[in-house]
Chains A and B, each alone.
Chain A
Amino acid sequence: MSLATTLTDGAIVARRNLIKIKRVPELLVFTTLSPIMFVLLFAYVFGGAIAGGDPQQYREFLMAGIFAQTVIFGATTTGAGLADDVQKGIIDRFRSLPMAPSAVLTGRTLSDVINNVIVLVVMSLTGLLVGWRIHTSVGEALAGYLLLLLFAYAISWVMAWVGLLIPSVEVLNQASFIVIFPLTFLANTFVPLQSLPGPLEAFAEWNPVSAITQAARELFGNTALVAPSDAWPLQHPALYTLIWTVIILAVFVPLTNLQYRRAASR
């Protein structure tokens, strides 16, 4: 199978997934509403308490954390979409076609990147409304967004694997919530690391979610409220994030492809 065919097939599958956004706009509305809700709740409820009474500074601090949490949660879309396809027998149809075997997975993960782009745009606009600002150059800001998308892309391969393994949308959503929610909270996403008790602070320092958040804060210039950390991952957050991204992709891309070939619709 030539590379061109593989890419074309992936694009055809991605287009199919994007048509769903067009047909069921409610989906996009709700996936963007909850982060908007988070922005507003955290900005106005916790803002005064956490940042020593300076809500404006907290909003600056908060946005990168919410970006990270949201795009990571967005990866569940990938898993849910694949689980749904397995459940409905659509994977069987795809697997019986002479298409590139990887196209269903590349198409799926690709359309979810586009989904994340839309969500990031909506959230950024909300952030701007509540007083968040980017203080760096356009290039750095773009790099920040790109890093968020890249990390989310890696996570969506993990969720793709889970989605093929547990082909039930309901179970998948519950299970991923239980893992992702604490993972995105045991980090520097919403509170300064130093406020966490010792062992949790150590965990949070090495949590890649902290690194991606820290990296985005630096690239957006939202570091006013961040006390410097001695932990290596937080001193090199972008590099640490990229290392995780590469490792996750190296493990889960082959693993998911293998699982896809085994996937049995029921």
Chain B
Amino acid sequence: MSGPAASVRAVDLGIEASGLTKRYKDVVALDGVDLAVPRGTVLGLLGPNGAGKTTTVRVLTTLLQPDGGSARVAGVDVVGDPAGVRSRIGLSGQYAAVDEYLTGYENLEMVGRLYHLGRRRSRDRARELLDQFGLGDAANRPAKTYSGGMRRRLDLAGALVADPEVIFLDEPTTGLDPRARLDMWEVIASLVAGGTTLLLTTQYLEEADRLADEIVVIDHGRVIAQGTSSQLKSQIGGERVELTVRDGAQVEQAVAALADLATGETGSDVASRSVVVPVTGGAPALAEALRRLAEAGVDLEDVGLRRPTLDEVFLTLTGHASTGDDRPDRGGQGRTTAGGDR
């Protein structure tokens, strides 16, 4: 565990977890989760309700003791030195945890004081963040009057007050309308550009695809896949060239021309004049297919390289869809999909 090699490694990683387990009575919430998030990168923790996402975040943010395994956040052991971890992280939980009777400014100033930033810096930081998050005009209104999106932004701002080394965002856009979600994505993307280490949980595949450098898919408290979004997509295969010919009579010709390229069974349908050829290698495979089709004199109406969506990836990996599952995430309490604005 100790020794120079281990500490060098720990410094490189913003978040490091190995073999985390947590059990609630008869429910296994975490069943040996391993994570390694290099500093300055974004990890998307993707999974359905009850997969163990929130439990993972709660362990990494010192809110919950794991039954087994170990984890370091910003190089500090979460079990051995929880206070050290807390001074280096920012957490924005599943619900906008803002005090609705305090104004936006009072909320952030209080968080700053509790990070022990001192009176003056807490004030400056609160004003700075309110402006940065487009809440400057609402700064002196009680948070009760804020919209769902504004509350979420305020909550996120709370996680940033102390310029933490590592930020945890647990389902930051759950319950937001599409417009507010887009705003939130922009805010998060700007954080990422600033070089913060970020762990983001989400049940929205598009969100992980868009914001995360690397995605870890988690289900039943276990990591079932990881990689970049395109790695995940190619890991399960499913990349294919889809084309439509102008003349149904040329379908066979096209199938023959691409036979060498196919990595699996080619599908064709004369009535719809379409051919689907499974391939690997992405764009170069498409270029090669086009060259061969031109050589064979096939007249194309439409052609394209199709990749599986993350939804398809998810379905393949877990055997069930990404949403609509009710298993409790912690202690028998499952949230409904894309649930209420709490």
Decide whether A and B are members of one complex.
Answer: yes
Q: List A residues at the B interface (Cβ < 8 Å).
A: 1, 5, 8-9, 12-13, 15-16, 19-20, 23-24, 88-90, 92-99, 103, 264-266
In whole angstroms, what is the CA distance A20 to B102 when docked? 7
CB–CB B101/A264 < 8 A:
no
Chain B interfacial residues counted at CB < 8 A: 35
Residue of A nearest to B63 (CB): A95
CB–CB A19/B93 < 8 A:
no
Residue of B nearest to A11 (CB): B113
How distant is B330 from chain A, measured CB to nearest CB, in Å? 7
CB–CB A12/B115 < 8 A:
no
- Set of chain A residues within 8 Å of B114, measured between Cβ atoms: 9, 12-13, 94, 97-99, 103
Give me 8 A-to-B residue pairs in the complex whose CB atoms sit less than 8 angstroms apart, sorted by A's number: A9-B113, A12-B110, A12-B114, A19-B101, A92-B91, A94-B114, A103-B114, A265-B97
In whole angstroms, what is the CA distance A99 to B102 when docked? 19
The winner among B86, B97, B110 for most chain A CB atoms within 10 A is B97
CB–CB A92/B106 < 8 A:
no
- Set of chain A residues within 8 Å of B158, measured between Cβ atoms: 93
- Set of chain B residues within 8 Å of A94, measured between Cβ atoms: 114
CB–CB A89/B111 < 8 A:
no
* Contact of A266 with B333 at beta-carbon distance under 8 Å, contacts A16-B99, A97-B86, A97-B115 already known: yes
Residue of B nearest to A90 (CB): B97
CB–CB B115/A98 < 8 A:
yes
In whole angstroms, what is the CA distance A103 to B113 when docked? 12
CB–CB A92/B93 < 8 A:
yes
CB–CB A93/B97 < 8 A:
yes
CB–CB A16/B116 < 8 A:
no
| 8 A-B pairs with the lowest CB-CB distances in the bound complex, closest first | A98-B87, A89-B97, A96-B91, A89-B95, A93-B97, A99-B114, A98-B86, A20-B101
In whole angstroms, what is the CA distance A265 to B114 when docked? 19
Residue of A nearest to B24 (CB): A264
Q: List B residues at the A interface (Cβ < 8 Å).
A: 58, 61-64, 83, 86-87, 89-91, 93-102, 106, 110-111, 113-116, 142, 155, 158, 330-331, 333, 342
Residue of B nearest to A21 (CB): B101
How distant is A100 from chain B, measured CB to nearest CB, in Å? 9
- Give the secondary structure class of B's interface: loop
CB–CB B97/A23 < 8 A:
no
- How many A-B contacts at CB < 8 Å in the complex? 79
In whole angstroms, what is the CA distance A103 to B83 when docked? 14
CB–CB A98/B116 < 8 A:
yes
Other than the known A92-B91, A93-B158, what 20 A-B pairs have Cβ atoms closer than 8 Å?
A: A9-B113, A9-B114, A16-B102, A19-B106, A24-B101, A88-B95, A88-B100, A89-B93, A89-B97, A90-B98, A92-B93, A96-B63, A96-B86, A98-B86, A99-B114, A99-B116, A264-B58, A264-B64, A264-B330, A266-B333
- Set of chain B residues within 8 Å of A20, measured between Cβ atoms: 99, 101
- Set of chain B residues within 8 Å of A15, measured between Cβ atoms: 110
In whole angstroms, what is the CA distance A37 to B102 when docked? 31
* Contact of A90 with B83 at beta-carbon distance under 8 Å, contacts A19-B106, A96-B91 already known: no
CB–CB B116/A23 < 8 A:
no
CB–CB B101/A92 < 8 A:
no
How distant is A209 from chain B, measured CB to nearest CB, in Å? 32
Option from A90, A103, A265 in Cβ contact (under 8 Å) with B99: A90
CB–CB A5/B97 < 8 A:
no
- Set of chain B residues within 8 Å of A89, measured between Cβ atoms: 93-97
Residue of B nearest to A23 (CB): B101
* Contact of A92 with B97 at beta-carbon distance under 8 Å, contacts A16-B110, A19-B102, A97-B115 already known: yes
Option from A8, A93, A265 in Cβ contact (under 8 Å) with B111: A93
How distant is A88 from chain B, measured CB to nearest CB, in Å? 6
In whole angstroms, what is the CA distance A266 to B158 when docked? 19
In whole angstroms, what is the CA distance A98 to B87 when docked? 5
* Contact of A97 with B331 at beta-carbon distance under 8 Å, contacts A265-B93, A265-B95 already known: no
